[in-house]
Structure 1
């Protein structure tokens, strides 16, 4: 059995760590072609990074309203730049190149971390995978960063392996039924339909459980 780090609460610092790792990794892409597909996705690498930044921004927004409504997303207008592309509330200025794109990603992560840090634990926000709390939205943001960075790393030809402890914390928070006797990063990829585990079929459909865990 692997030496899996003990899981603990997912925090704003975990959001900051995951985004910092993403920025460092993507910063090594150099002159790579960001118009290629991001790993197994139909979106290209630029679109996938925009989608990731948009997720972080929207997760933060779900926790900020003075009168939370738990029956739907905040009704931002979502637009797609092309048929089949991601529908986002925010987008990066393409004239600024990948430097601008990574600044938008950095800002999305900063917003989510700041909101999670400042929001009372009893606050709730809507998500279709379960009405959640600040820790849950932090964990969702981290999962989005980790798995989409894996997609991007495949598309851009980059090496990428996140810290085991970070993976273990989000698995415990969002995937309580995931195996615990396996390495955290391969397990997270398996839980999100991106990888295989010995003795377990590859998932063709998946979802996390964002409901609070009673902490």
Structure 2
């Protein structure tokens, strides 16, 4: 990765990490598993939507997204909770990508320059799908990769398919952790890391 792209990534990560440094402990205290369930439950029949929107808010706020996903699984079971968690993760990625794509070339040029932007475009044209799919189960990186993909205008179809390949396994894995009462977190974590690889391999063949 070129120096210019590293600078962009550092700037994006700084924008994500600063809220964590300021409010992270407070959010973690309020949004424990039981705290998150209580907060979501107050919205009654709209509780599922509240959980999804809380995941989308993770773009700007230090929301513990994996805890929210587990709370959705605890409330709705692994299947419905998994659907809601996957939808929230997908919408968060799509929103970050869309917002940074809207900022467009001027912002990317200001951060990286012409050469850096070209290198970013080449990187995401060749490896973008892998970066997006595999980043979804890691902390902090999902938002950073989505923003970077938007700035370099990664192909929309490729981005959305790879985003789904990463978001769905992660959503269902952490919803299952909540539904099972944390009895098998290792298996769920392993699946959330491995399944996106298998899905993206299949999706690439389908897209050709």
In the superposition, the TM-score normalised over structure 2's length comes to: 0.29
Using CA pairs under 8 Å that are at least 6 residues apart, name the structure with larger relative contact order, 1 or 2.
Answer: 1
In the superposition, the TM-score normalised over structure 1's length comes to: 0.29
